[in-house]
């Protein structure tokens, strides 16, 4: 049974094992890798700094970087295994409204097609409601069938399929 946990240094070894399953340089949606400091995430000190940065993104008393919004990051875990990541952006800026949406997620390759993403998105929706949101925007690449099904399984209603600077996106709203 998966659960959502706040990013933690204790999952370092499992996180590295998951990273090794991805193609080099792959973007892990919802994983927050863009927030990683320079340096090797295999180094416990670098990893700990990044994990701390992820946790601080949810702190609305602290300003976030230019172009970013406050966001809560969770890791999806099963027992001692890091399985994936999901994040909830607390509000939308112009870019998120156009193409990024409120929620991003990814599941490590060896744990896919077992309902993990569908479960995780469903688990984050009450968190979004608790923030005061009445609906959330979730987007995916037009050809990403797995992500589109994940959103549709959670009640996503397609608003449009649009060309954006990041490619053609399917944009869904989920009422909370």
Ligand X SMILES: CC(C)(COP(=O)(O)OP(=O)(O)OC[C@H]1O[C@@H](n2cnc3c(N)ncnc32)[C@H](O)[C@@H]1OP(=O)(O)O)[C@@H](O)C(=O)NCCC(=O)NCCS
> Where along the sequence are the contacts to ligand X (CB under 6 A)?
29, 105-107, 112-118, 140, 144-147, 149-150, 153
Judged by DSSP in three states, 16 sits in helix
Q: Residue 115 or residue 129: which is nearer to ligand X going by CB?
A: 115
Shortest distance, position 106 Cβ to ligand X, whole Å = 4
140-146: long-range contacts at Cβ-Cβ below 8 A with a sequence spacing of 24 or more? Answer: 140/169, 140/170, 141/167, 141/168, 141/169, 141/170, 142/167, 142/168, 142/169, 142/170, 144/170, 146/112, 146/113, 146/117
**Which regions of 90-166 does DSSP assign to beta strands (E)?**
103-107, 135-141, 157-164
Q: Residue 14 or residue 147: which is nearer to ligand X going by CB?
A: 147
Report the C-alpha gap between 105 and 131 in whole angstroms: 19
Q: Residue 34 or residue 113: which is nearer to ligand X going by CB?
A: 113
Q: Residue 56 or residue 173: which is nearer to ligand X going by CB?
A: 173
Phi and psi torsions of 168, nearest 5°: -80, 125
Shortest distance, position 120 Cβ to ligand X, whole Å = 8
Judged by DSSP in three states, 99 sits in helix
Shortest distance, position 165 Cβ to ligand X, whole Å = 16
Shortest distance, position 14 Cβ to ligand X, whole Å = 16
Tokens (6 digits) for 94: 């112009």
Shortest distance, position 81 Cβ to ligand X, whole Å = 13
Q: Residue 45 or residue 158: which is nearer to ligand X going by CB?
A: 158
């Amino acid at each position: 049974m998966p659960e959502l946990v706040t990013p933690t240094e204790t999952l370092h070894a499992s996180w590295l094992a998951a990273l090794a399953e991805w193609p080099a340089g792959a973007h892990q949606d919802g994983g927050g890798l863009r927030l990683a400091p320079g340096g090797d995430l295999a180094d416990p000190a670098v990893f700990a700094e990044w994990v701390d940065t992820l946790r601080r993104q949810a702190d609305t008393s602290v300003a976030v970087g230019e172009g970013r919004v406050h966001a809560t990051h969770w890791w999806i875990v099963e027992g001692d295994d890091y399985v994936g990541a999901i994040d909830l952006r607390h509000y939308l800026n112009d870019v998120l409204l156009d193409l990024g949406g409120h929620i991003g997620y990814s599941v490590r390759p060896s744990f896919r097609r077992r309902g993990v993403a569908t479960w995780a998105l469903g688990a984050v929706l009450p968190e979004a409601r608790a923030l005061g949101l009445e609906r959330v925007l979730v987007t995916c690449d037009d050809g990403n069938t797995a992500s589109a099904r994940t959103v549709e399984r959670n009640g996503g209603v397609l608003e449009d399929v649009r060309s954006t600077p990041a490619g053609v996106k399917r944009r869904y709203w989920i009422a909370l």
